Structure 1
């Protein structure tokens, strides 16, 4: 159960920050955001605040921000339709009732001559029960359409995604992956603030209960001055001397409480990939510093970003195959393993996953953020956008292929871990 909770919290946080990036920059651009959703499928929680409905859906495998203009916008109001209008004190329509008009006795029933609820915000028609004279009704910019009792706010064209500048649209899409890198950075900084950052001082950190260092009489906080007469100035020097001398007694000259001591220690031999090394069961020194914690956070983010790109490169060159990929099942299994190592390892795992999600979404694959950014790049080069229907078809095909890949990867994970 603890693994299930950890998986949901981690995956939920990754999706939340990703979609929050889209939401923040879309709203900054003035785009009407209809829904901010975590998960897919049926709604299990819904709360509307201002213009946006915040929902949690049943399947925790992603999320989305539904921006006005991204999908077919509204029901088209055609000439001859009978609609109900509720007007404010200035005579502007605040509600446009498409059916079940009898539930709104205060509404004025209008037979539509023409209607534009995106650009002109104007409805022309004949009011039922009044003299047959064409009347004009301005539409409030925040008016709602009412159909089957459900209200949907209209989106004037200047509040739709397509109306914004190329830069604003690019930032609204790029902000999702960007926030995954921000989340990873915050996680790594938090780990460093709580746990401390590695130091290069030649000072012994914590000692393991079964290591030869503790058995020989070394203590946490001992300052290593030399080993076998060789001067030691950094922690790296300590590690190298120990690793190079398995099963060989080493004379440690250390300083403890102002006193210089000489303590013999024999590193235990351990078999690793590439040969044998010596270990004495001691951790490196750490220090707690806000400035160094921030630096550590940036360095970890950079190092893991570089590492993930290197692994992607191996996938392209064929060094890795599709069997090396993991989906939700594989991530769950890895989370279970990492969770047993402690909260800090789990936090670090979340940071790595966040970077991975950010990078994957930036790849120029249709249906992902990177695919959309690729279309924006083409638009910048040719000076005009690609036909929306053609772009939509490319994204649809890309999404279908991604779902197929997800099924294959998930089946491989199930076979690897459970069959």
Structure 2
């Protein structure tokens, strides 16, 4: 149950912040965002606010922001259709009733001759009281209603395709960017809670029943010498101790202005595929500063980014096996193991996953944000957009291949777990 809760919280946060980036920048560009969804498949929960329907869906495999103009409208009104018209106080059509007109007795029924819901915003046709066709203006926020579900029309200037190359690129790039921002924030939070190690020979903490605790050392004690050798840094101290597993050593320790000597026998710690090392059961000292935490957030995000890109490079060149990739099942399993290590480790894991999600989405592959940015870049170079049908087909094929990859790595995950 703890694993499931951790997965829901982490993946919900990663997907939410990614899609929120798309949503905010798209809305600032004036794009009508029809839906903000967490998950895919059937809706579990939804509510409407500020022109957008916010939904949580059944399959927790990602999310999306449905922007007007990206896909064909689900309902199209063609000449010959009969629609019901409802007007607002300004005399503009505020609702077009596609079916179930009997549920709206106050509507005016029209047989449509011509309609433009993108540019001129009008509907023209025949109504019962008039022998000649009449025209009515559409409100810019008019809705068409099908099966009692209302959908706001999207004038062309509210559609994704009407925006400049830079505006569209910004709306797409904002999603992955927010994943990097989230990683920085999480790592700053981690450093603020856990503190950052400082390179001084100070006892930052003690392991239970370790040699240092049994010898009477306390947190804050300063190790000055080991077997007569002066130490001035944490690295000096640990280097000497690690080189002497299961050996008795003399320590000079400073505490509250006084010094005293203690003798300890180091314990042996086994290191896989390496020589054993000595330990005395002390933890590194840490400090908590705002500037340190801030620097850690940015530098560690950079390090994670570099490592993930290097791993992708090895995968592309064949030096990294596809079998080593983890899919949803593998990540679920790893998240459970991490959750058992504590909240701080879980925060670091969430930051790594957020960086990974940002990088993967920026890859120039169809169906990913990077693929969409690639088409926008080609449009900037060519001076005209790619045929939407051709682009849509490429994204469809890319999405299908992506799903096949997910199935393959999921199968590997299952085999690893049961083997």
Q: Secondary structure at the match of 1:37?
A: strand
Which SS does the other structure have where 2:175 is aligned? helix
Aligned-partner Cα distance in 2 for 1:239–1:303: 25
Query: Which residue of structure 1 aligns with residue 247 of structure 2?
Result: 248
Partner of 2:160: 161
Aligned to 1:220: 219
Residue 346 of structure 2 corresponds to residue 309 of structure 1: no
Q: Following the alignment from structure 2 to structure 1, what is the Cα–Cα distance between the partners of residues 229 and 378?
A: 61
> 1:199-231: per-residue Cα shift (whole Å, max 9, x none)?
223211111013222233322111122333443
Between the aligned partners of 1:277 and 1:188, the Cα distance in structure 2 is: 30
Offset at residue 90 of structure 1 (A): 2.2
Distance 1:374 1:230 in 2: 61
The structural deviation recorded for 1:140 is 0.3
1:370-385 matches, cutoff 5 A: 370-385=370-385
- What runs of 5+ residues in structure 1 fail to find an aligned partner? none
Give the match for residue 136 of structure 1.
Answer: 135
Q: 1:71 deviation in Å?
A: 0.7
For 1:11-410, list aligned pairs within 5 A.
Answer: 11-73=11-73, 75-130=75-130, 132-272=131-271, 273-410=273-410
CA distance in 2, matches of 1:39, 1:108: 39
What do the CA deviations read for 1:222-259 (whole angstroms, capped 9, x no partner)? Answer: 11223334433322222222223323333332211101
Q: Whole-Å Cα distance in 1 between the matches of residues 300 and 249 of structure 2?
A: 34
- Distance in 2, matches of 1:64 and 1:96, equals 27
Q: Secondary structure at the match of 1:115?
A: strand
Report the secondary structure of 2:406's partner residue: helix
1:126 deviates by: 2.1
Cα deviation, residue 361, structure 1? 0.8
Deviations 1:165-200 (A, max 9, x none): 111111111111111111111111112222222222
SS of 1:275's equivalent in the other structure is coil
Q: Is the 8 A contact 1:115 1:123 kept in 2?
A: yes
SS of the residue corresponding to residue 43 of structure 2 reads strand
Give the 3-state SS of the residue equivalent to 1:73 in structure 2: coil
Equivalent position SS for 2:349: helix
Post-superposition shift, 1:134?
2.7
> Which range moves more in the overlay, 214-223 or 277-286?
214-223
Cα deviations across residues 47-87 of structure 1 (Å, max 9, x unaligned)?
11121111111111111111111110253322222211111
Q: 1:244, 1:373 → 2: CA distance?
A: 53
Q: Deviations over 1:17-46 (max 9, x none)?
A: 111111111111111111111111111111
Question: Is the CA contact 1:245–1:278 (under 8 Å) kept in the aligned structure 2?
Answer: yes
Aligned to 1:389, the other structure's residue is in SS state: helix
1:74–1:7 distance in 2 versus 1, CA, 3 Å: closer
- The separation in 1 between residues aligned to 2:193 and 2:181, in whole angstroms, is 18
Following superposition, the deviation at residue 121 of structure 1 comes to 0.5
Extract unaligned runs of 5+ from structure 2: none
SS of match in other structure, 2:115:
strand
TM-score w.r.t. length of structure 2: 0.96
Q: Match of 2:206, SS?
A: coil
Greater shift in the superposed pair: 146-155 or 83-92:
83-92
**Segment of structure 1 superposing worse, 140-149 or 75-84:** 75-84
- Give the TM-score normalised by structure 1: 0.96
Contact 1:74 1:154 in 2 (8 A): no
Deviations 1:272-300 (A, max 9, x none): 23333222221110112222111121122
- Work out the number of aligned pairs and report it: 418
Q: Which moved more, 1:81-90 or 1:169-178?
A: 81-90
Contact 1:111-1:128 at 8 Å conserved across structures: no
Q: Give me the whole-angstrom Cα distance separating, in 2, the residues matched to 1:34 and 1:407.
A: 30
RMSD over equivalenced CA pairs, Å = 1.6
- Whether the 8 Å contact between 1:362 and 1:368 is mirrored in structure 2 is yes
Which structure 1 residue ranges, 4+ long, deviate > 6 Å from structure 2?
A: none
